[in-house]
Amino acid sequence: EEKMHDNSGISFTDMNEVLSESLKWANRSLNMKNIQVVLRQEPVPSIAAQAPMLYKTIQGLLENAVQAMGQGGELPEDQEQGRTGLRSKRKSQVLKVSSRLEEGEIIINIEDTGGGIDDKMRWSYFQPDYSQNSQEHAFSLYQMDAYLKTIGGRLKLRNTDQGLQAIVRLRR
Q: How many CB atoms lie within 10 A of CB 145?
A: 18
Distance CA 48, CA 67 (A): 30
pLDDT at 90 over 60: no
Detail the DSSP E strand segments found in the chain. Answer: 10-13, 35-41, 47-50, 79-82, 85-88, 93-102, 105-111, 154-159, 164-171
Instruction: Give me the pLDDT at residue 24, please.
Output: 97
- Give pLDDT, residue 73: 44
List C-alpha distances in Å: 165 to 89, 113, 116, 159. Answer: 25, 9, 8, 6
Segment 19-52, tens digit of pLDDT: 999 999 999 999 998 899 999 999 999 999 999 9
Contact 48, 12 (CB under 8 A): yes
Confidence (pTM) = 0.82
